[in-house]
Amino acid sequence: MELPYELRGAIEEQLALMPAKKLSGLAARLSEDYRSGKPLVRKSYVSTYEDALAYVAFRLPATFAAAYFAMVQVKERLTDLKPKTFLDVGAGPGTAMWAATMVWPQLEHITLVEREQPMIDMGKKLAKHSVLPSIRQAEWIKANVMEKWDIAPHDVVIASYALNELPERSIEPFTLKLWESTEKLLILIEPGTPSGFSLIRRVRERLLLQGANVVAPCPHNGSCPIAQGDWCHFSQRLNRSRLHRQIKGGTLSYEDEKFSFVCLSRTPGASVKGVVIRHPQIRKGHIYLRVCTREGIEEIVVTRRDKEKFKEARKLSWGSVIHW
């Protein structure tokens, strides 16, 4: 997974303004803050220009990959969806709009709601590099979503890696408000951890009561069959630039971003038999698939003897839809 060319260039231009060593220290602190999962000691993870820079260097490529993956899943199942308006709440530096315009290039109007001014400033700087008027002219709204915020409904609404930054008591009213602001599709993404998944499962159940339809990843609107102690998540591999490797203090040329998500729409998506919810295990003569189906979780073994199915199964990956 690669970032769009102009976004990559825009980020590199920003990063070049700070010595790599300093950036590396900032990225390490941000990483520790996010990883610890402890309640915020500071008012916000990102409240200065330097924090925003570290976010862009250290987190944006990964959250972009997660948003892109979720949107591609939707595109396959809601083929008639041709959104014109897009709203991102807790937008950070506007990560999701870059993914959205790749999936739905016809987007005309983008609105981004964000509390932290340095994130907004950073997002605007990056947006200037886009070839798309919808990104360059995106409307940024500085607002705290725990206070009063009113936005006209948009075709597609997203809150990506934002729910977990809100206090517990605000989660339900916030998600109901997001649903109210959704004309067609709502996308919610959280870290692929037990607590991230538990948030996603909870808001999924709540919004089903409001009449929402699950478009992805689940192949059904029923209750989630994932057992206690397990968690449903997906993974995207992204390439690290040299600077990225330097900043993160790692040698690997890639990283895997794990995330949980749910996409809910006003109208039902295409009917899907099952979704692969782990990396397929390819053995000699066998492929093992863990699949979420309308009947629950199934462990499917495809053998080489079943030639056609085996050929199809070899092409499957974590998150793929299966039709048999």
Ligand X SMILES: C[S@@+](CC[C@H](N)C(=O)[O-])C[C@H]1O[C@@H](n2cnc3c(N)ncnc32)[C@H](O)[C@@H]1O
Provide the binding-site residues for ligand X, judged by CB under 6 A.
Answer: 44, 46, 60, 63, 90-92, 95-96, 114-116, 119, 144-146, 160-162, 165-166
Dihedral angle over CA of 24, 189, 103, 293, nearest 10: 130
CB of 319 to ligand X, least distance (A): 18
Nearest position to ligand X, beta carbon: 92
Instruction: Pick between residue 158 and residue 216 the one whose CB is nearest to ligand X.
Output: 158
Instruction: Pick between residue 24 and residue 95 the one whose CB is nearest to ligand X.
Output: 95
E strand or H helix that includes residue 33: helix 20-36
CB of 158 to ligand X, least distance (A): 8
The counts of H helices and E strands in the chain are 11, 13
Q: Which residues, other chains included, contact 231 with Cβ-Cβ below 8 Å and sequence gap of 6+?
A: 192, 193, 194, 196, 197, 198, 260
CB of 231 to ligand X, least distance (A): 19
Instruction: Pick between residue 74 and residue 226 the one whose CB is nearest to ligand X.
Output: 74
34 closest CA partner among 215, 227, 165: 165
Instruction: Pick between residue 160 and residue 320 the one whose CB is nearest to ligand X.
Output: 160
Instruction: Pick between residue 165 and residue 312 the one whose CB is nearest to ligand X.
Output: 165
Could you tell me the two tokens for 29?
């602190």
| Phi, psi dihedrals of residue 45, rounded to the nearest 5° | -65, -35
Residues paired with 283 in a beta bridge: 286
CB of 309 to ligand X, least distance (A): 37
Instruction: Pick between residue 145 and residue 276 the one whose CB is nearest to ligand X.
Output: 145
CB of 26 to ligand X, least distance (A): 15
CB of 56 to ligand X, least distance (A): 9
Burial state string for 58-82 with b = 16 or more CB within 10 A and e = fewer than 16: bbbbbbbbbbbbbbebbeebbeebe
Where do we find the tokens 């109210």?
A: 180
216 closest CA partner among 67, 105, 109: 67
Instruction: Pick between residue 62 and residue 218 the one whose CB is nearest to ligand X.
Output: 62
**24 and 50 in contact (C-beta within 8 Å)?**
no
CB of 83 to ligand X, least distance (A): 18
